[in-house]
Amino acid sequence: MNIELAEYDDAWPGLYERERARILAVLPDADLEHVGSTSVPGLCAKPVIDMMLVVEDAADEEYVPALEAAGYRVTVREDDWHDHRILKGPDTNVNLHVFSRGCAQVRRHLVFRDWLRADSGDRELYARAKRELAAREWERVQDYAAAKGEVVLEILERAYMTWRPSSGEVEYVTKTPPHDAPVVLEDYNPVWPRWYAVEEARIRAALGDVVVRLEHVGSTSIPGLAAKPLIDVLLVVPDSADEDAYVPALVEAGYWLLLRERGWHEHRLLKRSEPNVNLHVISPACEEWDRMVGFRDRLRTHPEDRAEYERTKRALAGRTWHRVQDYAEAKAAVVERIILRALA
């Protein structure tokens, strides 16, 4: 199979706008974006208009009948990959990608597009890689797409590190003034999953049906990885900003509210000291679920990534940090790299 690339065509944005109007006629509140190479002025591309539709739940397909009425048809269902759906357009070569709100793939597509629009060096790097790969013979177009993965990840890593979302102002409910904080790592301890199991039972008993999702994340959730002896728990509740719905019950169970980050997904952090627990609370449509769980699962299944992360942690742990957050920030590049691999 030959991959045919076309030079950038000024008609592509107009084709997107025409399809956008067609979809908005049947889904007036649709959240749509032009993504992929045809959305980047000056970039060569296969002449396929990639569009992204963000819905509340891609898997339930409530949106499909309306799109079928507009001439679209479902061609791909990936229930094991973010419930991703692809629909084809009626009379233009269109791929309409559908993701659920809060899926980390949404920001991944937008960050990649916006970075290539803004950075001429990486835009040209990507174009060269595409041309070199398009000159080869491919059994499937998916193989060509997979072969681009290395350069895509290289570009995305730069983009994510430059355009990382700010957490905004952190409101400390319990004061923890900055202090020189040595980071002490311990070799993996098989007792850590048991500590998590006790905390899971405690949280579920306290909150009942308020628990939407609950997972052990962070380094203590990864067998074989050195870590601070700190159990990170990720809790999803219906609305993390509605503290009355869950904070009093967790306080009764022995936690205390440490901080609020209203500008960063309405994240709340609660603590327990015996054992040392960080309880992160988010709402359902929050990409941090995909990112934190994806990071954990990648490290559990890819020893080379686990070794890379441990080397980084041990090198940084030898320093003294003004704040533990500074240690976490110093790890950010390798963390983002591994998350991007998990999301690929």
83-102: per-residue pLDDT in tens?
999 999 999 999 999 999 99
Name 32's bridge partners. 53
Q: Residue 167: its pLDDT value, please?
A: 63
Residue among 3, 6, 96 nearest 42 (CA): 6
Query: What domains can be seen in the chain, in order of their start residue?
Result: 12-162 (3.30.460.10), 171-343 (3.30.460.10)
Q: How confident is the model at residue 320 (pLDDT cuts 50, 70, 90)?
A: confident
d(CA 112, CA 100): 18
20-79: per-residue pLDDT in tens?
999 999 999 999 999 999 999 999 999 999 999 999 999 999 999 999 999 999 999 999
Contact 26, 66 (CB under 8 A): yes
Which residues lie closer than 8 Å to 170 by C-beta, 6 or more apart?
259, 260, 261
Residue among 27, 30, 29, 46 nearest 38 (CA): 46
Q: Which amino acid is at 115?
A: W
